[in-house]
Each structure stands twice: as C-alpha cells, then as structure tokens.
A and B are shown apart, each in its own frame.
Chain A
C-alpha cells in the first residue's frame, strides 16, 4: 500500500523528471539553432569580402558570387565535418520531431515522394555542392513548422532518407544526417 506521503514523493520525482526532459529538449533545439546561426555568421563574413550581389544581377555576376561564397566558406570551414550542426542529440531530436509531426500514412507518402525524386547521384557529404541539374524536393510545410528554425541562408532538403542542411544560394552541403525518416 502506498502512503499519501509516498505518493507525493513519487509525483515530485515525476515532475522533476519531466521538467528535466523538457529542459533538455529545449537545450538541444537551442543548441542546434545556435550552431546554424554560427554558419550564417561565417557566411556573412565571407559575403562581406566579395563584391555585393545586386538584385538585378546578370547570370555572370550570379555565377561569380556563388563561386566566391562557395570558395570562401569552404576555406573558413576547412575543418568542418558531419555532425557539427546535426549533433547526435540534434539528430535524435529531429527524428522524434518528424515522427511526432506525421502520421504513419503521411510518412509513407513522404517516403514515396522522396524515392520518386530525381536525386540519384547527389553527393551527400559536407562541402559538396548540390548539383544544379538535380531536382530539389519540396519540403513539407508542416515539417518546416515543426523543425528548428534556420537562418535565411540555410534550408533543409531531403535526399532519399538523408536530411541535408544546404546553403540556399550556392547549394553547399553544410551538414547532413541519415535515416531522418
């Protein structure tokens, strides 16, 4: 028989446990967003060294800008490797977030879309550039609402079951995680 006193104790332990888990979740999300913001800072620094790109640019100016940013970021992040933004904790958090956002049927439909996409041959590795000849799979709005928010220069993109972090304007693969769905 559990006494009333013991009952209070159990409830207190559960409450502490739950708040610790919630705190940890917030920390993982915040940590991920901070790391992504760190990339944006590097990107901004590199961009500042180049001739600014006009919003009425020619294709030649766009190509030069993309190449300049790409080279600059690769140099600044020469030591970058997989997992620097998608830390193991962040990967687990993102997998859980995706599962929570979707029903099994929706996940199955998303997997089907990803299998059908023309993304074969995309090199899934840090520092590689997403080929401009390959399809960019539409990111589900519901998922974008649930996932941690990214700075403007970055976006999520699926390649098969991989989830990539891509630099929007030059296609640089900044980080990636496998078996995201």
Chain B
C-alpha cells in the first residue's frame, strides 16, 4: 500500500515534469513494443510517395539491434515504408547461416514478413558472398542501381572502388534522367566521427562525380551514430551508422561539418520523397525524433527547409512510460537497487 502510494506520487511528479526523463544514453534498456506507444511521424505520409528507411552497421544480433528492429516495425504501422537501405556492416563476425538469421532475419522478421525490401551495400566487416543473399536484393552485384518512383538509388561498394565501378557509376549517372539521385554506401566522405571521421579516399573518388552528375543525397555508415552534414557543394550527406551499436559521444563537438547529430543511442532514418521535396526524420531507439527536415530539389540547387532538432511531443510518451516502470520497479523492490541497474 505504501509502495503504491509512493508510486502514485512519482507518477504525479513525472506528469508535472518535476522529475527529469531518463537519459537517452542508457544503452541497454529493453523497450517492450507494447510500452512504446509513441509513434510521432512528422513526414507527410502521402499515399503515392516514395517511402524508405536508411540505417547501417546493423549486424550485431544484440538486444539493442532487436529493439531498433521492433521500433522500425512499430513505425511501419504508421508510416508504411516499402524498403530499407543498409549502408553496410550487415553481419559482424562469422557469417554462417545461423549468423544470417541471428544478425539480420530475426531482428527484422516483422518487416520481412510484411514484404519490406532490404537493399544492402557491403561494409568492411561484410563478406562479398552476401551479394547473392536473397534478402539483400543485390542481384549478385557488388554495386547496382534501382529505382522507386521518381528516385534512382545507387548502391556502391566503397570497400573496393576499382576503375570498373567508377566507370560504371559515371556512365549510369550521365544517362540518368530521374529527378532524384540517391547514393548509399559504407565509408562516409564526410563525418565528424572521432573513431573514423571523413574518409578522404572515398571523398576524393566519389564527391566530384556526385557534383558533376547531380547526386542529391548520400547515406553512409561506418561511424556508429547519426549525423547530418552541412551540405557540401549542394549535396546532402548523412551518416546513419547506429543501427546495431552506438559509439556514444563520438561526434566531435567542435566539428564544422555537423548540421545535426545524435550519438547517444541507436537510430534510423525515415525518408519520404514527395515530388521535388525529400522529407526526413531521424528516430532513436526509444522513438524520439532526433532530427527532421526537408530537402528541396530545384534541379541542381538544393536547400534544406526547416531542418532542426526536435524532441517528440509534450504528451506522455514512451520515455515517460519507461521512467514510470523503472521508478515503480525501484520502489517496489524496496529502493535497494540503484536506478540505473533497474534499467539494465
């Protein structure tokens, strides 16, 4: 009775915003989907638009990757994206059939069952044999192009940018008349990561081609966080490599490249292309919107419209619910455990 009373007091305090929300940096918190009622889609979510998700460095098979997979599936209920682009490091460590299952199929089972198509690229931890894996839709190619609606996607292999691939890319882009050209691959030409950072070799090889041929947006991974880069020669670069692990605090705080960043939890991006506008929303493992905005394509001139960081709404969201459960657990256990241990 006494515990219940204490719980009610804490609930009241939480609702009044007196107690702080738990930090996003609690990396190993299990979030049951049932409790994650907050699905705040900021995108237009139009019926005929191109909708996809971008994430990378996913292949851990750990609990947090499963959390993120559930979160993606949960958002899929409200925002029915048809594909997921993977920016590489799809399978860390061994790559036995059991690993394909544990590190890819299990975390994304719900999405696979809903016929969401995954399009992969190879990272430095991936075996080339993945190119033939049915769920990666690479068609036996190390690099490839496909289209959805008015968007052409270029999946590149930055492990091995040989002259053949470069020539292919130039020729394809030169002939490409799609209004939107999106490239995705593993090594980021621009990144504020302390662990890796900008990959100058990849930048030197690809950025001039992108500029010359009007590539609009580039998604990469390798660094385990989310970062939106200040546009480079009109091209929007994103690092979205926190799909299976986060490297907390890795974004260099004094970097001039960062337009927006999030490096305290896993994340993925939802993207929607409606005509000449590309809307994006980056979402954390806990369902929080950590960045959002619109890229407007005006031929070769693009600009961000209203991009900003925004926390999800002021209503009682899943952060609050998680806090309530955590605090109640702590109280009911006789207050004999630390708060953080309750959450692990």
B101 close to A (CB within 8 Å): yes
Q: Select which of B125, B129, B163, B166 is within 8 A of A62 by beta carbon.
A: B129
Is the pair A132, B205 in contact by a Cβ cutoff of 8 Å? Answer: no
Looking across the interface, which residue of chain A has its beta carbon closest to that of B139? A55
Interface mask (B160-183 → A, CB under 8 Å = 1, otherwise 0): 111110100000000000000000
Which of chain B's residues 98-143 have a Cβ closer than 8 Å to chain A?
99-101, 124-134, 138-140
Interface mask (A53-87 → B, CB under 8 Å = 1, otherwise 0): 11111111111011000000000000000000000
Q: Select which of A56, A61, A141, A168 is within 8 A of B161 by beta carbon.
A: A141
Q: Select which of A55, A138, A142 is within 8 A of B187 by beta carbon.
A: A138
The total of interchain contacts (Cβ-Cβ below 8 angstroms) comes to 88
Is the pair B124, A135 in contact by a Cβ cutoff of 8 Å? Answer: yes
Looking across the interface, which residue of chain A has its beta carbon closest to that of B95? A132
Q: Report the minimum CB–CB distance from B241 to chain A (whole Å).
A: 15
Which of chain B's residues 239-268 have a Cβ closer than 8 Å to chain A?
none
Q: Report the minimum CB–CB distance from A88 to chain B (whole Å).
A: 25
A104 close to B (CB within 8 Å): no
A140 close to B (CB within 8 Å): yes
Q: Select which of A61, A63, A136, A155 is within 8 A of B96 by beta carbon.
A: A63
Residues of A within 8 A of B95 (CB): 59, 132
Residues of A within 8 A of B133 (CB): 57-59, 62
Residues of B within 8 A of A60 (CB): 97
Residues of A within 8 A of B124 (CB): 135-138
Q: How many residues of A contact B (CB 8 A)?
A: 31
Looking across the interface, which residue of chain A has its beta carbon closest to that of B162? A144
Residues of B within 8 A of A49 (CB): none
Residues of B within 8 A of A141 (CB): 161-162, 166, 201-202, 204-205
Looking across the interface, which residue of chain B has its beta carbon closest to that of A167? B128
Can you list 5 contacts pairing A with B, beta carbon distance less than 8 Å? Answer: A56-B132, A61-B132, A62-B133, A132-B94, A138-B199
What residues make up the interface of B, taking CB atoms closer than 8 Å to A? 93-97, 99-101, 124-134, 138-140, 158-164, 166, 187, 199, 201-202, 204-205
A-B complex: 5 closest residue pairs judged by Cβ atoms:
A55-B140, A59-B97, A59-B100, A141-B205, A56-B134
